Structure 1
Amino acid sequence: MTSDIMIPFYQALTEDVNALSAPQDSLQDTRREALERFAAAGLPTLKTEAWRFTNIQRFLKEYPYEFLNTPATTTANVADEAAIAGLEGYRIVLVNGHLQADLSTLPEGKGIRIGAMSASTDAPGFGKWFNQQKHLSAESMANLNTALFADGLFIELQANVVIDKPIHLVHVYTSDRHAFVQPRHLWILHKSASATIIESTVHPKQEAVAFANSVTEVVVLENAELWHYNVQQGADNFRQVNTTAAQQGADSRYHHFNFTLPNTPLTRNNLSVILKGSNTETNLKGLYLATGSQHVDNHTFMDHLVPNCNSNEHYKGVLLDTANAVFTGRIHVHQDAQKTNAFQQNNNMLLGDKANINSQPQLEIYADDVKCSHGFTAGQFDEDAMFYLRARGIGQEAAKALLVNAFSHDVTDEIAVPALQDYIQGQIEAIMNN
């Protein structure tokens, strides 16, 4: 059902789904089905349970957004803004979701296929895994992406392939008009494959605002391992809804880190993981540092289907000024998922007088032999620690930076890439000293 607020937006995207993709597009039926699901549900509203603390329609009607699915390019100088000092790896640059080959260095070798989604629909993994994550069809914004996406990054690593260096995926969002873009990615790691992927965003200075509604599907099969880092550098000319849907096979490991930094007015991260094979390990770590009137919403879902799996989730937030954050962490343990070990924790520092956090841990446990726990805290600086630092001649702002860095260490200490760890800790220090 559509609402009055969304009607112009809805009409602009539903005039003709055939016009939004090439006639030879093999995904026409998939796109049309997704658009029908979106039309039935409409855009999320504050009455939508999963969105009751985030008014996305307010952000969508800020500007006359146009659907942008044609390729664009950027310069090396712009892409270099995402550089991480000391990081040795492969760089892949996407501009509004489109691969820019001349600025990219892709890993090559037997069993490695990496390229544009639009050029990968013939890949066996694409046909088997694209849009197969059941959680996507229940999410309105993900259905919108499925219907309208133009391109993104496809990765398929065959059995036993190990990428020797991190892949640094640089997303550049740029346009000369207010743009609504739909990047779509699919990453598949077959048996015993492993990789590290670091995502960064760049937003060139421009008057036009970009709104990205991105979807990433991650498939980590038997005994494979993926370290997945998402560094969300902020900008006041950017808004984002970022959906990641992962599934794991037996004995696999998936480590997901999300870092949300200041200035982007709206950031919504949807992250779901389905544990489909026994003896899996899942680590979800998050750090959000919000300033001004920034709104950050992290919505996670751990879906335990089978026995003997471990999930560990820890999100930390630092909120300054009038920033607002939402954390919803849902853990679903099915009846067959005995011997599940699931931990969830959300801790927050409220450093602004009007900063606010809405935290909603949700446990659904239908098995009787499990270890599951969750916790939530919100507070300000430890007065004793602040006094200790000030008494030793450390200025107030420097002391705050030290305490925030210490607070975040439970997350940042788990980063397995030293250069990235230094970068994140440096960003925290710079933000707090600004």
Structure 2
Amino acid sequence: MTSDMILPFYQALTEDVNALSAQVPSLAPDTLHDIRREALDRFTALGLPTLKTEAWRYTNIQRYLKEFPYELLTTATPVAAEAIDKAAIPELDCYRIVLVNGHLQADQSALPVGKGITVGAMSAHTDAPGFVTYFNKQHHLVNESLATLNTALFADGLYIELAANTVIDKPVHIVNVYTCERHAFIQPRHLWVLNKNTTATIIESSVHPETTAVAFANSVLETVIAENAELWHYNVQQGEESFREVHTTAAQQHNNSRYHHFNFTLPNTPFTRNNLTVALNGSHTETNLNGLYIANKSQHVDNHTFMDHIKPDCHSNELYKGVLLDNANGVFTGRILVHQEAQKTNAFQQNNNLLLGSKADINSQPQLEIYADDVKCSHGFTAGQFSEESMFYLRSRGIGEDAAKALMVNAFSHDITEAVKVPALQHYLQVQIAEIMNN
């Protein structure tokens, strides 16, 4: 149950569920109100995570929730075009979707259009085939208390559905704007459905206009990659001191599908928690998870991944790297579960870290749980500092210490950035990394 420490906050949340559920149309055969109420009951049973919760043993979220008296924010705040333009990626030819606190801003967006492409607000698509079939159906969300809270209280989000045999001709850039006049708790909810033989590249980034108020986003994304579909998903998290985030992604793959997920967490946001679960619920799937987190000051970055191998003949590869500066703290928990039916599974996981701050630290927990006997699985973890020999080599050739560190971080992160298949985004990330290390 929820602790007394944050009971007033919890009471404010529960009091809002009835008002929020009335804002979204009914979902047949069950109403969305019933789904919300079930989720709220589930959240009440689970409570907010504590340090005694195994998946949160290194992350004290209650510390951040009790920082300020947050209010539940269910509307969009007007945002100037100049603020949104700050999220632009130079030389990127793309469609642009602007969301403010999870609400679609059609007048500031350039939406992808064409036969077989459906893009719009979640609240306007509750009768869409993909919504009826897949909304809130991913079982991995059931035991995530903050995901159930989002289900109970979300106001809106982005709905994407591609009909069979549809290909979006260029990347879709989603700009997530989070802004508020008073400290706010924000609940965006998204659903992307890629039906059979579809392909899409989606890039997410965020903008936080200058404000003295703190925005805490608890966002949930459900993704479905159907038979022979392919999704490239890039999430670039660039925050400010006035932002905290819990970002949950639940992906479901079907036969012969391919899912490539990249997560880049860059400095300044005090608290970031990423929950990523992938259900390989079809044979002959390919899954690639890549992550790079660079944290500074007293920043806390927690990446929690779960690769659920359910069916046979699937391949997954996961590589997460961290660079921790100053007093930053990193957490990586990567779990691979291979079910008995999932024979001929290939699953590989690696987490490597550079500790460059005097008080920087990392808690890493790679985990393998295997119930099949015909598999190839491995995991690994490293943490260390720069090689003294490499530093001496660079310094002896007239390269200053800061420049040498920047070069070595660039080399350390190269196999992550090199895997980015959008040239403009790859260059943008490389520039951002260089600027971080040179400041």
TM-score, normalised on structure 2? Answer: 0.98
> How far does residue 25 in structure 1 lie from its aligned partner after superposition?
3.5
Q: Does 1:158 align with 2:163?
A: yes
Q: Does 1:173 align with 2:164?
A: no
How many residue pairs match? The answer is 434
In structure 1, distance between residues paired with 2:255 and 2:238? 34
In structure 2, distance between residues paired with 1:188 and 1:75? 31
Give the structure 2 partner of residue 414 of structure 1: 419
Change (3 A) 1:250 1:107: same
> 1:183 touches 1:213 (CA, 8 Å); kept in 2?
yes
Change (3 A) 1:385 1:24: closer
1:171-205: CA deviation from partner (whole Å, max 9, x where unpaired): 00011110100000000000110000000000011
> How far does residue 386 in structure 1 lie from its aligned partner after superposition?
1.1
Give the structure 2 partner of residue 132 of structure 1: 137
Give the structure 2 partner of residue 147 of structure 1: 152
> How far does residue 24 in structure 1 lie from its aligned partner after superposition?
6.2
Q: Does 1:90 align with 2:95?
A: yes
Q: Does 1:336 align with 2:367?
A: no
Give the alignment partner of residue 51 of structure 1, picking from 49, 53, 56: 56
Give the structure 2 partner of residue 14 of structure 1: 14
In structure 2, distance between residues paired with 1:73 and 1:108? 25
Give the structure 1 partner of residue 72 of structure 2: 67
Give the structure 1 partner of residue 29 of structure 2: none
In structure 2, distance between residues paired with 1:16 and 1:288? 35
In structure 1, distance between residues paired with 2:17 and 2:91? 45
> How far does residue 76 in structure 1 lie from its aligned partner after superposition?
1.2
Give the structure 1 partner of residue 194 of structure 2: 189
Give the structure 2 partner of residue 426 of structure 1: 431
> How far does residue 340 in structure 1 lie from its aligned partner after superposition?
0.1
Give runs of aligned pairs for residues 167-316 of structure 1, distance below 5 A.
Answer: 167-316=172-321
In structure 1, distance between residues paired with 2:92 and 2:23? 42
In structure 2, distance between residues paired with 1:397 and 1:204? 30
Give runs of aligned pairs for residues 89-128 of structure 1, distance below 5 A.
Answer: 89-128=94-133
Give the structure 2 partner of residue 2 of structure 1: 2
Q: Does 1:375 align with 2:376?
A: no
Give the structure 2 partner of residue 396 of structure 1: 401
> How far does residue 23 in structure 1 lie from its aligned partner after superposition?
6.1
> 1:90 touches 1:165 (CA, 8 Å); kept in 2?
yes
Change (3 A) 1:83 1:24: closer
Deviates more, 1:284-293 or 1:63-72: 63-72
Give the structure 1 partner of residue 39 of structure 2: 34
1:113-164: CA deviation from partner (whole Å, max 9, x where unpaired): 0000011101011000000000111100000000000111000001110001
Give the structure 2 partner of residue 321 of structure 1: 326
In structure 1, distance between residues paired with 2:206 and 2:148? 23
RMSD over aligned CA atoms reads 0.8
In structure 2, distance between residues paired with 1:262 and 1:24? 36
Change (3 A) 1:144 1:251: same
> How far does residue 247 in structure 1 lie from its aligned partner after superposition?
0.4
> How far does residue 96 in structure 1 lie from its aligned partner after superposition?
0.3
Report the 3-state secondary structure (helix = DSSP H, G, I; strand = E; otherwise coil) of the residue aligned with 1:259.
strand
In structure 2, distance between residues paired with 1:118 and 1:74? 21
> 2:25 touches 2:123 (CA, 8 Å); kept in 1?
no
In structure 1, distance between residues paired with 2:104 and 2:155? 11
Equivalent pairs: percent with the same residue?
A: 74
Hey, which bits of structure 1, 4+ residues long, moved more than 3 A? none
TM-score, normalised on structure 1? Answer: 0.99
The amino acid across from 1:155 in the alignment is I
Q: Unpaired runs of 5+ in structure 1?
A: none
> 1:73 touches 1:100 (CA, 8 Å); kept in 2?
no
The amino acid across from 2:176 in the alignment is H
Report the 3-state secondary structure (helix = DSSP H, G, I; strand = E; otherwise coil) of the residue aligned with 1:234.
coil
In structure 1, distance between residues paired with 2:140 and 2:403? 43
The amino acid across from 2:14 in the alignment is T
Give the structure 2 partner of residue 356 of structure 1: 361
Report the 3-state secondary structure (helix = DSSP H, G, I; strand = E; otherwise coil) of the residue aligned with 2:169.
coil
In structure 1, distance between residues paired with 2:89 and 2:400? 28
> 1:6 touches 1:43 (CA, 8 Å); kept in 2?
no
In structure 2, distance between residues paired with 1:103 and 1:395? 44
> How far does residue 4 in structure 1 lie from its aligned partner after superposition?
1.4
In structure 2, distance between residues paired with 1:299 and 1:399? 31
Report the 3-state secondary structure (helix = DSSP H, G, I; strand = E; otherwise coil) of the residue aligned with 2:40.
helix
